[in-house]
Homo-oligomer: A and B are copies of this chain.
Amino acid sequence: MRTVMTRPTPLPPAPLTLGIVGFGKIARDQHVPAIAATGLFRLAAVVSPHGAIPEETGLGDVAVFRSQTEMLAALPGLDAVAICTPPAVRHPLTVEALRAGKHVLIEKPPAATLTELRLLLDAAEGAKRTLFAAWHSRFNAAVEETRRRLAGATVRNVAITWKEDVRRWHPGQDWIFAAGGFGVFDPGINALSILTEILPAPVVVRDAELRVPANRDTPIAATLRMEGAAGSAVGTVTAAFDFLQEGEQTWAIAIETDSGGLDLTHGGTRLSVDGVLVLAKPDAEYQGIYRRFHHLIADAAGDVDARPLQLVADACLVGRWRTTDAFHW
With A and B bound together, what is the CA distance between A202 and B119 in angstroms? 8
Q: Residue on B with the closest CB to A119?
A: B229
Q: Which of B113, B210, B230 contacts A204 (CB 8 A)?
A: B113
Query: A95-B230, A230-B95 known; A115 and B203 CB under 8 Å?
Result: yes
Q: Within 8 Å of chain B (Cβ to Cβ): is A179?
A: yes
A229 to B122, CA, bound (A): 11
Given the interface pairs A179-B318, A313-B316, the reply to whether A115 lies near B205 with Cβ below 8 Å is yes
A317 and B219 CA atoms in complex are apart in Å by 11
- Can you list, as one digit per residue, whether each of A171-195 has a CB less than 8 Å from chain B (1) or not (0)? 0000000011000000000000000
* Bound-complex Cα distance A95 to B307 (A): 20
Closest to A214 in B: B323
A266 at the interface (CB under 8 A from B): no
Residue ID in chain B nearest A1 by CB atoms: B118
Cα A179 to Cα B311 with chains together (Å):
16
Contact with B along A66-97 (1 / 0, CB 8 A): 00000000000000000000000000100100
A153 within 8 Å of B (CB atoms):
no
Least CB distance from A311 to B in Å reads 7
In the bound complex, what is the Cα–Cα distance between A229 and B202 (angstroms)? 30
Which residues in B have their C-beta under 8 angstroms from that of A204?
Answer: 113, 115-116, 119
CA distance A319 to B218 in the complex (A): 9
Q: How far is the CA of A92 from the CA of B203 in the complex (A)?
A: 14
- Quote the shortest CB–CB distance from A95 to chain B (angstroms): 6
Partner of A115 from the list B92, B115, B116, B202 (CB cut-off 8 Å) is B202
Q: Chain B residues with Cβ under 8 A from A95's Cβ?
A: 230
A181: nearest chain-B partner, CB-CB: B318
Q: Identify A114's interface contact among B210, B212, B313, B321, CB under 8 A.
A: B313
Q: Beyond A115-B203, A119-B202, is A313–B317 a contact (Cβ under 8 Å)? A: yes
**Among A113, A115, A310, which residue has the most Cβ atoms of chain B within 10 A?**
A115
In the complex the two chains form, is A217's CB within 8 Å of B321's CB?
yes
Chain B residues within 8 Å of A321, by CB: 210, 212, 217, 321
Given contacts A113-B204, A179-B208, A316-B317, 8 further A-B contacts (CB under 8 A): A1-B115, A92-B230, A113-B314, A114-B313, A115-B310, A119-B204, A180-B317, A323-B323
The chain A residues found within 8 Å of chain B, CB to CB, are: 1, 92, 95, 112-116, 118-119, 179-180, 202-205, 207-208, 210, 212, 217, 229-230, 307, 310-314, 316-321, 323
